[in-house]
Homo-oligomer: A and B are copies of this chain.
Amino acid sequence: MTPEAIQAAAARMRGHVRVTPLLNAPLLDRLAGRRIFVKAECLQVTGSFKARGGWAAVSTLPAGARGVLAMSSGNHAQGVAWAAAAHGVTAVIVMPSDAPPVKIERTRAYGAEVVLYDRACDDRDALAARIAAERGLALVPPYDHPEVIAGQGTVGLEIAAQAAEAGIDVAEVLVCCGGGGLAAGIATALEVRAPGLRVRTAEPAGFDDMARSLAAGQRLRNLAATGSVCDAILTPTPGALTFPILRRLAGPGLAVTDDQALRAVALAFSHLRLVAEPGGAVALAAALHADDLPETVICTVSGGNVDPQVFRAALDRFGC
C-alpha cells in the first residue's frame, strides 16, 4: 500500500464520494476531559466509509468485467452495491441471513442481488467462489484488497487536511476496526501527510483480535464469531494485508464494552446530531473512556446504518 495508490483512488472518486466533515462539540469535550474531533463517515454516501473502498475497487475492474461479488454483513455490501450500480455493472452480495434487516433491504435497494446464507450451516467462501466462477464476477473482499485499502485510505487524506486546518499537529487518531482496512488505509495516508497523527484501532471487548495481534506481533483470532452489538466489525482475525501495515504504523489497540459503544451512540445523538451504529461508534467510545490518550484525539464515526431498535435502546439506556 502506497500513498500514491490512495491519492489515485481519491482522484477517481471525486464527485462521487463525499468529503465528510470533521466535527467537534464543546459540551462533548467538557464531558470527556479532552478535545475530541469526529470524522463523520456516517454521513458518507451509503452511510459508511465502505462506499470509498467499494468505489475504488469497482472503478478499477478490468474492462469487460461482468460484475462484482462481495461477502458482507452490511456496510461493505451497500458500498459495493452502490458503486456497482453507478458503474452499470452487476453486483451479487453474499450476506448472512441474520444480518440486520435494514442492511439487507438497503443493499437490495441499491440494485444488488442478495444471496443469503446460514452462518451455522453454510460454507460462505465456497458458496461465493462458486457463484463468482459460474457468473464471471470479480471478488471484492471487505478489507484484504489493495484497492479497497486505498479507497478507505482517502479518509486519511481528508483527516490530514482537516486537522491542519484546525491547527492540530499532534494527536491520536482512533479508528473503528474490523479487518483493519480503514485503519491501515488511514495510517498509510497519515504517515506521509500528517506524521504527528498516530493511528490506534478501536474494537469491541472480546473481539479485539487486532489489539491482541498488535501486542503479540502476530495475527491472532477472536474466540467467538458473534455476541456483540457491534455487528459491523466482528471479523475473525486481522487481514493479511492490513496487519503488517498496522504493526508498523499503529499504536496499541483499544477495546470498549458494548455499553460504552451504546453510550457513544447516545452522545453522538445529543452532542453531534449524528446517527451512529454501535460498531461505528467504538472509536468515539474509546475517545470518551480510554485513560491513556493525549489531550487531542480524532476518531472515526465510521457508519450510521443502525437498527432502529438498537438506536432506541441506546437512547433509553443512557438517559437521553
Contact = CB atoms under 8 A, between A and B. Distances in A.
Interface stretch (A20-28, A142-150, A176-184, A227-235): A20-28
Contacts of A23: 18, 43
A130 interface: no
A308 B304 contact: no
A9 interface: no
Given A43-B21, A320-B308, A106 B27 contact: yes
A168 interface: no
A132 interface: no
A42 B273 contact: yes
A47 interface: yes
Contacts of A18: 21, 23
Nearest to A320: B308
Nearest to A21: B21
A247 B305 CA distance: 42
A276 to B, nearest CB: 8
A110 B21 contact: no
A274 B47 CA distance: 10
Interface residues of A, number: 32
Contacts of A82: 26
A110 B26 contact: yes
A117 interface: no
| Majority SS at the chain A contact face | helix
A275 interface: yes
Contacts of A320: 308
A164 interface: no
A278 to B, nearest CB: 14
A63 B18 CA distance: 42
Contacts of A27: 106, 109-110
Interface string A277-304: 0000000000000000000000000001
Nearest to A266: B308
Contacts of A43: 21, 23, 40, 272-274
A273 B304 contact: yes
Contacts of A305: 273
A312 interface: yes
A150 to B, nearest CB: 23
A315 interface: yes
A224 to B, nearest CB: 29
Contacts of A273: 42-43, 47, 274-276, 304-305
Contacts of A45: 25-26
Among A27, A45, A110, A273, the most chain B Cβ lie within 10 Å of the Cβ of A273
A320 B305 CA distance: 12
13 contacts: A18-B23, A20-B21, A23-B43, A25-B45, A26-B110, A27-B109, A27-B110, A102-B270, A274-B274, A274-B275, A308-B315, A308-B320, A312-B312
Given A18-B23, A43-B272, 9 more contacts: A21-B21, A21-B43, A23-B43, A269-B308, A269-B311, A273-B274, A274-B275, A312-B312, A312-B315
